[in-house]
Structure 1
Amino acid sequence: MTFFDDMKTSFADVPRNDGEISTLEFLEASESLVKLFDLLGSSAFSVVQSDMSGNINKVSAKFLSDPVNCGTLQKLILTEVKEGGKKTATQGLLWLTRGLQFTAVAMRKCIDNQDWELSKCFEKSYGETLTKYHSMLVRPVFKLAMKACPYRKDFFAKLGDDLAKVNEQLQAWVSSLESVVKEIMDFFESGNYGKGL
């Protein structure tokens, strides 16, 4: 049994029809991803987890209030745009996607650079993704979390006993995560939906 076998929903299982991403399964896959930070075993990552969980809750609340018009992430954004006012779920989705991108880039670096420790993978990822959105007050908190990463071999042992299976599942999961993140980011850019959020 691996960490990936235990997920309720993997990003590989999120339905995507006609370029639209199913909200419910996306939220389930995101919740499963947040549990990955438990394996990193450092309370320093609690800030990352709580940030992502808070954003999942914002998107979830909107979805549950109007599942028909918010059945896909794209429809959810367009519904909030049409309603005017505060775009709480859209903002939550934007920040959640940034967190997912940070995780995807870190895990891709981990796959592509087998001699790198996790702390290096996460530090490089942070520099390429989230740091530009964070204030001078937030950056040190995240940088502290990166330094608190466990050793690579210890982390992989927590993912599962069968290393070949873990590596295969990790590769598929990261590829699906990257694809979902790109689709969401492209949609945000297509209508400038993230402006001011």
Structure 2
Amino acid sequence: MTKVQIPAGKTWFDVQTRHFADVPVSAEQEVSTAEFLEATESTTTIFDLLGSAIFTPMKQDMLFNVNRVRERQKLAPEVSSTLQGLVKDELTAKAHNAADGLTWLVRGLDFMVQAFKADMTANKGVAASDRYPKKEVGDLFRESYKLTLAPYHSVVIRPIFRAAMVAAPRRKDFYIRLSGQGTDLELTREGLEKWTAALEPIVAILQAFLASQEIKR
């Protein structure tokens, strides 16, 4: 897996090239395509920090779907400034490759949102450095997977993801891996909370859009 370099005193959030907090969302709830794809692509590096090559297929799948959307953006840039505009234009052309890619990206990002939100609630008041949290990362991942991705995965794919859940690091180690040397793990936990809070409304907007009658196919 790729080595993610996190400077001393910094966190994974400090080395991301784009944050979801910086993704423009219009008053009409339209999500900017370029910044969303940059933030999602940057997010995939988290899989390099989880400590097992079994997470590589997850990263590759997200990057594949980022590229599906980006290719459509390049093909029709004048109508692809927002994800909603991109998908609507693609569907008028009787195509749905980018729409499918975006659908899977939203599902994958929702998996992260639900898992990390659950850490904030199930482990509320538990320090990031605590060796014995109420729930470990593997537990959070398994519960989130059942809600977000499992319903759409085939019987062939599910075992791969379930194996990844087993390989998830312990919660304390997870926060250590998101941190540079000497970084206060509570700063990392706060960073994860802010990152999740910025991503959650974007996921909700795109879920509603993808489920709307306007683009049913």
**Deviation per CA, 1:81-124, whole angstroms, max 9, x where unpaired?**
1112x211111001111111111111111222222111000000
1:77 corresponding residue in structure 2:
87
Establish whether residue 166 from structure 1 lines up as the match of residue 193 from structure 2. no
Partner SS for 1:153? helix
Which of 184, 197, 200 is matched with 1:178 structurally?
A: 200
TM-score (norm 1): 0.94
Distance in 2, Cα, partners of 1:193 & 1:146:
33
Distance 2:108 2:77 in 1: 24
Partners of 1:6 and 1:162 in 2: how far apart? Answer: 16
Normalising by structure 2, we get a TM-score of 0.86
Aligned residue number for residue 105 of structure 1: 114
Q: How many aligned residue pairs are there?
A: 194
SS in 2 for 1:64: helix
Please say which structure displays the higher CA radius of gyration. Answer: 2
What is the SS of the residue equivalent to 1:20?
Answer: coil
115-124 vs 154-163, which deviates more?
A: 154-163
CA, structure 1 residues 139+108, in 2 after alignment: closer, same or farther (shift >3 Å)? same
| Matches of 1:173 and 1:21, distance apart in 2 | 17
Amino acid at match of 1:55: N
- Percent of paired sites with the same residue: 40
2:155 aligned residue: 136
Shift of 1:77: 0.8
* Structure 1 unmatched runs, 5+: none
Cα distance in 2 between the residues matched to 1:92 and 1:64: 15
2: distance between equivalents of 1:144 and 1:82?
Answer: 40
2:99 maps to 1:90:
yes
**What is the alpha-carbon root mean square deviation over aligned residues?**
1.2
- The letter for the 2-side match of 1:172 is K
In 2, the alpha carbon distance for the partners of 1:164 and 1:67 equals 42
Match of 2:32 in 1: 22
Give me the whole-angstrom Cα distance separating, in 2, the residues matched to 1:48 and 1:62. Answer: 22
Structure 1 pair 6–122 and aligned structure 2 pair: CA distance change class (3 A): same
Q: Distance in 2 between matches of 1:92 and 1:193?
A: 14
Comparing 62-71 with 15-24, greater Cα deviation is found at 62-71
Which among 38, 43, 48 is matched to residue 58 of structure 2? 48
Residues 2 and 159 of structure 1 are in contact (CA less than 8 Å); yes or no, is this contact kept in structure 2? yes
Query: In structure 2, what is the Cα distance between the partners aligned to 1:154 and 1:168?
Result: 16
SS in 1 for 2:85: helix
